[in-house]
Structure 1
């Protein structure tokens, strides 16, 4: 990774360090929201978590990288439609709370905070915090996962496993691992809990930007289902499919996904 990783505006550290710190601090804030809203409804807990994490990240990035643009899942429709970011050199792509369903279910650990930086056409820094696990995975130094079993573990949504992932599982004689949150799924591949994440059910840039940055830093393969490059800071923020897997599985997985 190049570019933004060396920026040290205002003495706040490199972009890698900033992404890791903000993701971690937003996660700590969200753990506090869980405690505060323990007796509230799941919907109230979701809404409070989304808003507070978004407000925190927007204020922090405004203070520490005031010249950069930001694309957040929780921005208003008008902010999403603002095309100014398309001409910006640097754009932070954040998901303040990835996996709101899991966050709202007290005791679940498979939710995340995503903070990524796109610069001049590339993801150059990223962090995925898993607050309930006490873990933050951040560029530039992400250890590769340990060796996996002979039968690859394909990670899927616990509520809506896509047909393409089931086809990959069958073709590779693998097993399924169910989990929420795109960030938690990619983190599971990075950590060696699973071997591949194959998604075809619809996502947006903020769902995968930070996880993909972290996965690439760990030496994992990433692409669209058709094998094309994942592109960020586009006019249309829909980025509906992706593959994140151990590099040795990429050809076998692409043989399935490109045939469908």
Structure 2
């Protein structure tokens, strides 16, 4: 890695971890053993490289103990070494990801979401261009296992089509990739689930907020950040208003 640019570093980190995860997947493990090996291997890669290339920065990771010193740090890398562990453990599924984001002085400033099995990385270094929307029903990306209950009511009211898929990052990237128009979640998440997808989505011109339309905040005392809305800007008011009225049905 020769570039000192945070955007380029985020891509490289996510892709290095992704390459390691593909190697783990080829090792013949199954089930929980594969999940655990993937989590550990990707965390090891990211921890080692961040310590080497950004030794002064703090890190918040799903797979490491939370260091409270990050709350007073100016720069914090928020990482999810393996988003979609279940999908990772079910080859040849490709709907899992690696998240790498940088929070600096109060907001997210750079990030990358790698989908290694898809051979794609989405980043703030090279923001995606979301094409103009074509005619048809609103497409809502939802969890294939834990969709919030109010989403069915939202789909019924708007005539939307529900598009089930795996990890949180993959669902956000589905909006970036124009495979969906909206991702709304209210079933519980942490900062590492959404930080990298959110900063990448913002760079692509998409709307991002809490599910009710309020502002997202990162590097807080608790990393619990249970809900999320990422969508084309034209759907933001309608979906957020629906969540405010019906969000208790989550």
> Fold-level match, TM-score > 0.5?
yes
CA distance in 1, matches of 2:153, 2:164: 15
CA distance in 1, matches of 2:105, 2:8: 20
CA distance in 2, matches of 1:168, 1:126: 30
1:142 partner SS? coil
The equivalent of 2:38 in structure 1 is 49
CA distance in 1, matches of 2:167, 2:134: 22
Give how far 1:65 is off.
0.4
- Contact map agreement 1:102 1:111 (CA 8 A) in 2: yes
Aligned match for 1:25, one of 13, 16, 20 = 16
Mapping 1:76-225, distance limit 5 Å: 79-80=65-66, 82-146=67-131, 147-225=133-211
The equivalent of 2:52 in structure 1 is 63
The equivalent of 1:3 in structure 2 is none
Give how far 1:171 is off.
2.2
Q: Deviations over 1:94-145 (max 9, x none)?
A: 0000000000001101000000000001000010000000000010431232
1:259 partner SS? helix
Give how far 1:89 is off.
0.1
- Contact map agreement 1:222 1:242 (CA 8 A) in 2: yes
Distance 1:148 1:29, change over 3 A: farther
CA distance in 2, matches of 1:238, 1:149: 37
1:258 partner SS? helix
CA distance in 1, matches of 2:207, 2:95: 22
2:95 partner SS? coil
The equivalent of 2:62 in structure 1 is 73
Deviation beyond 3 Å, 4+ runs, structure 1: none
CA distance in 2, matches of 1:64, 1:12: 10
Structure 2 unaligned regions, length at least 5: none
- Contact map agreement 2:212 2:241 (CA 8 A) in 1: no
- Contact map agreement 1:123 1:213 (CA 8 A) in 2: yes
Give how far 1:225 is off.
1.7
Give how far 1:11 is off.
5.0
CA distance in 2, matches of 1:11, 1:48: 29
TM-score of the aligned structures, taking structure 2 as reference length:
0.95
Q: Deviations over 1:180-206 (max 9, x none)?
A: 100110011100011100100000000
2:245 partner SS? coil
- Contact map agreement 1:99 1:112 (CA 8 A) in 2: yes
Residue 212 of structure 2 is aligned to residue 226 of structure 1:
yes
CA distance in 2, matches of 1:106, 1:73: 23
